[in-house]
Structure 1
Amino acid sequence: MEIRIGVQHVAREVVLESEQTPDEVQKLVETALEKGTPLVLTDERGHHVVVPGNALGYIDIGSETRGRVGFGG
């Protein structure tokens, strides 16, 4: 699933593909916002992305459904 993170005072957003579920990501975001702790997400390749909780502008959590490949309808 694709996750897009807007960081305050940064022009570009952070985009990553993750194997985490939308519910897991939402809980991590809520905790980071409530406690002011860093948001730590893991991408498909096992890399960790760390964003300070107090710098989060927005989070766009994609659906778990992956798009089709090819020309089918």
Structure 2
Amino acid sequence: MNDFTPGRFLSISETAELLTVSVTQVYNLVHRGELAAMRVGKRGPWRVDVSVVQSFIDDQYEMARRRALWHQSEFADSGAI
């Protein structure tokens, strides 16, 4: 099964640009395991699959949605609304 698409892999700097964060922030996400990436060779450059970036973005939106719902339920329980 050949699932290769040209332009499928992004460099760390391209990933940072796409997420509008710093290169350091992307390295931190990768090293913490929050953003899956692979290294090309033993000491080569890191690459991030475009689909991984999209999944990361989707997950961040879902987490934000859940936080918003949680905060709404906290206010509802306190009678503040």
Pairwise same-fold verdict (TM > 0.5): no
More strand by share: 1
Q: Counting helix residues as a fraction of each chain, which structure ranks higher?
A: 2
Task: Find the structure with the greater CA-based Rg.
Answer: 2
Task: Name which structure has the greater RCO, CA cutoff 8 Å, separation 6+.
Answer: 1
